[in-house]
Amino acid sequence: MKLRLFASVLTGFAIAIGTTITLNQPSNAVNATFRCGKTNGVPTTFVRTQDGKNLPMIRWVSDIFRGTKLTPQHRCQEVSRRFQSNYDNGTLRYIKAGMLNGQAVVCATTQKDAACSDKNLLFTLGRGSDPDATVRKLFDRRALAAGKAVNQVGGGDNSNEPVNIDVEAYLYFAPSTAQ
């Protein structure tokens, strides 16, 4: 009789621990697909979330690389691929601004204090751009709520605060748009 009671208690304990472990796993409720498309003829990086939100993220209008193969269309395709690759690898936890090889850049990181590197680079900004101001402007939820993808050009925000965009929260709380 004691053996049955012990087995029942042990089974209940195992179920309780299994349930706790399962409930404490991070949510993968926000699965995203990044792609290059067009908005009014302008190459645009879009993200489509698992719940059907289709968000225009960056309109590629800058011609800072004029005269090279890095046309707005090529940048849109390449950067959309980098977003997807970093997202699939689990390295797109945060989007942040930084400097890499003396150039202002936007990169994907797993931690807020991580540095930008060749491995996590999303895209390079034009000379003289303020990387934090540009990221702040690019990922402005109010602009997205108004259905406005932001053009990829230099920033206009003079705040000195470093920017770290929490990608999962950003995608979860971003407004839906038709596309």
Reported as a single tens digit per residue, the pLDDT across 58-105 is: 999 877 777 778 889 999 999 999 999 999 999 999 999 999 999 999
Cα torsion 129, 132, 137, 138: sign: positive
Q: Alpha-carbon dihedral of residues 11, 17, 18, 23, nearest 10 degrees?
A: 150
CA dist., res. 89 & res. 93, Å (int): 10
CA dist., res. 128 & res. 134, Å (int): 11
Closest C-alpha to 59, from 46, 74, 78: 46
pLDDT digits (tens, 9 = 90+) for 112-139: 889 999 999 999 998 888 888 888 888 7
Q: Alpha-carbon dihedral of residues 145, 150, 155, 157, nearest 10 degrees?
A: -10
Predicted TM-score (pTM) of this structure? 0.71
